[in-house]
Each structure stands twice: as structure tokens, then as C-alpha cells.
Structure 1
Amino acid sequence: MTPNSARPAPEQAVARWERRAEVPLAVASLVFLVAYAVRVLAQDLPPAWRAACLSLALAAWAVFAVDYAVRWRLSGQGLGFAHTHLLDTVVLLLPLLRPLRVVRIYDAVRRRHARPRLALYARVMFYAGLSVLLLGFAGALAVYDLEHATPDATIRTFGDAVWWTCATLATVGYGDVAPVTPLGRLVAVGLMGCGLALLGAVTGSFSSWLLQVFAREDDGRPPGSSSPGAS
């Protein structure tokens, strides 16, 4: 019996659907990000163009909703699907996380085409870096959209929003600019949590890689030799 024939039928159905939905989800992620960016940054757009950007963003959300509903149906798990696919559930509910689907799609495409894969530590650092870029850009857009028109806001320009986002994701928090609206602060809490998680993933992978390199160097020394500088 092959491994594929041993898999349950619902799992096979979900896997087939995910392969078919890779490209539409990647396109929807990019469409959502571009439409949202244009709507936020191009403040002098005619009302018809702003409505078109909003429609594109809603259409992208509809693609995510259809994908989530189909996989829920095919899985046969009922309400348990939301718990076993927590990240997908959060991405569906929180618009700012939808661009992160690009990272997952990129990895799936690489596997499908049997491209040479990076080492585990390099992959973690690369995907974490890509996630930071996508999440940071989306977060800066959201904070700028929520804050720039507020009378007592300190984030007045998109440049201010980018600076604040970088400081927040890096867990530095200079405090020179900060969101003042409730929704802006809610976005800040999310970015803080994501920043801590991504920073921990990168530093942990880098530390593990260093330990692996040092262990290989120790294994390659002749028996009885000591490291340089050892007494």
C-alpha cells in the first residue's frame, strides 16, 4: 500500500483543492495588498476609483472565504476545522495578515517544481524576513489610514507610519510617534506580538545554526586537540 492510498479520503480531497487554489490565493493576496495600498496612499483618488479599490479588496476577501469554506467542507471536521487550522482562521478574520499567504504559496510552488531547497535555518530566516516585509507594509498602511486624520495624532505621514512599524516590529519602541486611536493601538498590539514571534524565530534559527557549525568544527579536530586559546 502506498503512502497516498493510506491517506484518508478527506485529506486527499483537501490536498487536491489546496494545489488548485495556490495560484488564485496568491493573486488574491497581491490584489488585496495593492488595492488597499492605492486606496490608502492615493488620497486624491476620485470616488469611483476608491470604490473600485474597495471592491477589489472585498473580492480578494471573498476568494479567501470561499477557499476556507471549501476546505472546511472537504475536511469533514466540522467546528474542529477552525481549531486545527487556526492560522487560516485568523487570516480570514484579520485583513492585515492576508498578504502572508504569499509566503505559504511561494513555499508550495517551490516544492511542486522540485527546486533546490534551502537549509532549514536559512528557510526560517528567509521566510521570517519576507513575512516581516509583508506584515510591516500592511501594518504601516493600516496605522496611517487610521491615524493621519486624527487631530492629536503623531503619525501624520506614511513615512511616520513606516518608521513606527519598523520600531514596533524590532521591539525597540522609541516612543517618538505612537498610535492614539483605539483601532490603531489594536493594530500595534498585533504587530508587537508578530514582531516578538518573528524575531524569536530568526534569532533561534541563527543560534541553532551557529551551534551546528561549532559542533562540526569540534568533530573535525583530531583526538586530543584543543580549541585555540584553550589553556
Structure 2
Amino acid sequence: MDHDSRAHDWERSTGGVLAGASVLFLASYAVRVLAHGLPRSWRDLCLVVTLLSWAVFVLDYAVRWRLSGLGRGFARAHRLDTLVLLLPLLRPLRIVQIHDAVQRRRHDRPRLALHARVAVYAGLSAALLGFTGALAVYQQEHAAPEATIRSFGDAVWWTCATLATVGYGDVTPVTPLGRLIAVGLMACGIALLGAVTGSFSSWLLQVFAREDERRPPGN
């Protein structure tokens, strides 16, 4: 069995496990950030779940590196996976990737058209990145001196404005790490907006082309 086949079999057999680990990672992180009155023992348990989930990501990455046969070239060929491993809060991007792989295996159901898939995946990415971004910014900002993001609601509002590339400026991060997170969300927002806009433009061109083909000659 070649490297590609073994890597494909591994990804197919671990998709559900990775999806579950991703959900546990986000859930445990959210509880630690939002549940301020939680007993210390429960907060420690959430931290353990977060670390174990991240350990699953590390194990998956190491196995796929070994099965790929690419050596150091694996990191360059799988930049998104490498970035997600180093910055686990970007795990929502990997969740969407796993969802796509699951859909490809379900041959009994027709897949959505390309334009619809782009819109669905962009929406999923925006929602999940928005949630994790709001958690990360709230964790860094709510107790900082002169902070304007005091509640999780403020963080969600700021994240929506940032991902939409609106930037009202009524609430802004003041800590260095909070601003770094803001830069990442801005980049993600521009990328997602560009993907949806490009897909919509391509769909319109195809619609107009089909109309021209159906139009009788001379009209």
C-alpha cells in the first residue's frame, strides 16, 4: 500500500474522532473562559480536557506526517494543518475540512453545487471562527485596564464587526495579544468575504451564459 492510500485510510478512520476532539476542545475552552464562578476543580478538569484534545491533534498530525513519506515537506504541503496545530483556536477551519471529507464519502446523497458549498463552508467558518475569536478576545480584554470589551456580548459584537470588515470602533482591543487576535480575524474576514463574493460572481456569470445560450439567434 502506497503512502497516499495509507494516509487516506487514516484520515477516513479518524474523521469522527477528530471532530469530537474539536468539539471538546472548543467546549472546554469556552467553559474555562465564561464560567467565572466555576469551582477550581472543574476549571482544572476543563483544562485537562483542552490539553488532551490538543494532544489528539498532535498525534494525528504526527501520524499523517509519518504516513505521507514527505519528511519535512509535509509541513509545507499542509500549511493549514500546521497552522491549526500551532494555533488551536483556528481549529474551526479544520472542522469544515472534516465536514467536507465526510460529505464526499456519502455517495448516497447528492453534493451541493460548488457555489452553494462555498457559501455553506464560508458561513460555518465565519460562525465558528467568530465564536472562538470572541472567546479569545474576551479572555484577554475583559480584565485589562481601560478595556472597552468588558462582557462576552461586547466581544461577540466586536468580532462580528471585525469579520464583516466594518470596524465601527465603539469597542476595540487594548492588549497586545487582543490586537494580534484582531489582525487574524481581519485577515480571515477578508478571505471569507472574497471567497463568497468570487463564488457569487462566478455563479452570476454562469447564469447569464446559460441565458445567452437559450436565447434564439438574432434576439
Please give the TM-score of this superposition, normalised by the length of structure 2. Answer: 0.98
Q: What percentage of aligned pairs have identical amino acids?
A: 72
Secondary structure at 1:78 match in 2: coil
Asked if 1:147 corresponds to 2:150, the answer is no
Q: Which letter maps to 1:72?
A: W
- 1:137 aligned residue (111, 124, 131): 131
Counterpart CA distance in 1 for 2:60 and 2:10 is 9
Aligned partner letter, 2:193? L
Greater Rg over alpha carbons, structure? 1
Shift of 1:99: 2.5
Deviations 1:146-168 (A, max 9, x none): 00001210000000000000000
- From 157, 172, 175, the counterpart of 1:163: 157
CA contact (8 A) 2:96 2:124 kept: yes
Q: Which contiguous aligned blocks of 4+ residues in structure 1 show a shift greater than 4 angstroms?
A: none
User: Bigger shift: 105-114 or 198-207?
Assistant: 105-114
- Give secondary structure in 1 for the equivalent of 2:111: coil
After superposition, where does 1:1-231 map in structure 2 within 5 Å?
A: 9-114=2-107, 115-225=109-219
Question: Partners in 2 of 1:113 and 1:215 — Cα distance?
Answer: 31
Contact conserved, 1:25 with 1:101, CA < 8 A, in 2? Answer: no
Deviates more, 1:8-17 or 1:75-84: 8-17
Report how far residue 35 of structure 1 moved.
0.5
How far the C-alpha of 1:211 sits from its partner, in A, is 1.0
**How far does the alpha carbon of each residue in 1:38-84 deviate from its partner, in whole angstroms, 9 at most, with x for none?**
11111110011111111111111000000000000111111110000
Secondary structure of 2:168 counterpart:
coil
| Alpha-carbon distance in 2 for matches of 1:139, 1:152 | 20
Separation (CA, whole Å) in 2 of partners of 1:101 and 1:86: 12
Structure 1 letter corresponding to 2:92: P
Shift of 1:100: 2.4
Tell me how far apart the structure 1 counterparts of residues 78 and 207 of structure 2 sit (CA, whole Å).
35
Task: Give yes or no for contact 2:115–2:200 (8 Å, CA) kept in 1.
Answer: yes
Query: Any idea what SS the aligned residue of 1:155 has?
Result: coil
Decide whether the 8 Å contact of 2:81 with 2:94 is kept in 1: no
Tell me, in whole angstroms, the C-alpha distance in 2 between the residues paired with 1:199 and 1:112. 28
Q: Show structure 1 runs of 5+ residues with no match.
A: 1-7, 226-231
RMSD: 0.9
Separation (CA, whole Å) in 1 of partners of 2:24 and 2:78: 24
Supply the distance in 2 between the matched residues of 1:100 and 1:148 (Cα, whole angstroms): 26
Aligned length: 218
Q: Is the 8 A contact 1:169 1:191 kept in 2?
A: yes
